[in-house]
Amino acid sequence: MKSAHNNLSVKHWEKRPEANWEKFEFNQPYQKGLERLQEQVLSKTNFDPATLWQWGTMQAMAIIEILKTLESRFGREGQQAVFESLRRVGYDVGRQITAGTTIPEEMGTAEWISFYATVVNRVAYASLETPAIENKQKANFHIDWCPHQDHYRAFDCRVQRYFVQGMIEAAMDFAKSQGREDVWDVAFRATIPSGSETCYFEIFRGDPEESGKWSDYTCLIEEKALEIAKKSKA
């Protein structure tokens, strides 16, 4: 793993080295259930939180099976039904993270986007990451450990693209409401299920006149998935 998480008294999502991280505002998604877990379950019972990983893995594998089944039975229509459902959930998570917050005037958009991605990665995706802000146009991050990495096949990661599409849209809508009109895009360069040490992603300023690279690549994967489903059905 690239990242070192040695201070066990600090939660993995609480700290980043940049000074402006302390000014970054965000909310914990699904706050009501989180507070119940922390205040009534973890503090008062012998509940093992590691079982949440097993429960979450079951949910994740179920979504993959739902997607493959609908692709096989209904083709593109079934595929798009899953896409729209997961995109809406992703958008709602992004909305929860940003609701009622502001972007400080002195915080660059690339910096804010990187911080937003950290909350998505470390909280919503329960992962460990190593982020970096390269310049005003670009940031990146390595996912050093992902809860899905031991059970996902490489092609299964496409499911997460649907969540992320909604999260990107939520971030752009919020940034626009704060006077940040720039379009930002995401591309992945490597994934753990494909054999890489980490999952590596780049975040960069996009072209408002072109479709996003994230959504373009999603379309390519969808076409491949439909081909696979058709052959499997035959």
**What are the structural domains of the chain?**
27-233 (3.30.1380.20)
The pairs formed by 189-195 with CB atoms below 8 angstroms and a separation of 24 or more are 191/154, 191/157, 192/143, 192/146, 192/149, 193/148, 193/149, 193/152, 193/153, 193/154, 193/156, 193/157, 194/154
Q: What is the mean pLDDT of residues 45-74?
A: 97
pTM metric for this prediction: 0.93
Is the pLDDT reported for residue 67 higher than 70? yes
Q: What is the mean pLDDT of residues 48-77?
A: 97
How is residue 186 written in tokens?
């995401």
pLDDT at 169: 95
Is the pLDDT reported for residue 61 higher than 90? yes
Q: What is the mean pLDDT of residues 224-233?
A: 89
Is the pLDDT reported for residue 5 higher than 70? no
Q: What is the mean pLDDT of residues 172-190?
A: 94
pLDDT at 9: 78
What average pLDDT does the chain have? 94
Is the pLDDT reported for residue 232 higher than 90? no
pLDDT at 6: 56
Q: How many C-beta atoms surround the C-beta of residue 153 within 10 A?
A: 10
Is the pLDDT reported for residue 1 higher than 70? no
Which residue, among 132, 102, 100, has the nearest Cα to 115 in the 3D structure?
Answer: 132
pLDDT at 7: 66
How far is the C-alpha of 65 from the C-alpha of 61, rounded, in Å? 6
pLDDT digits (tens, 9 = 90+) for 207-220: 877 778 899 999 99
How far is the C-alpha of 180 from the C-alpha of 111, rounded, in Å? 12
Is the pLDDT reported for residue 2 higher than 60? no
Is the pLDDT reported for residue 4 higher than 50? no
pLDDT digits (tens, 9 = 90+) for 117-132: 999 999 999 999 999 9
Place of tokens 């971030």: 171
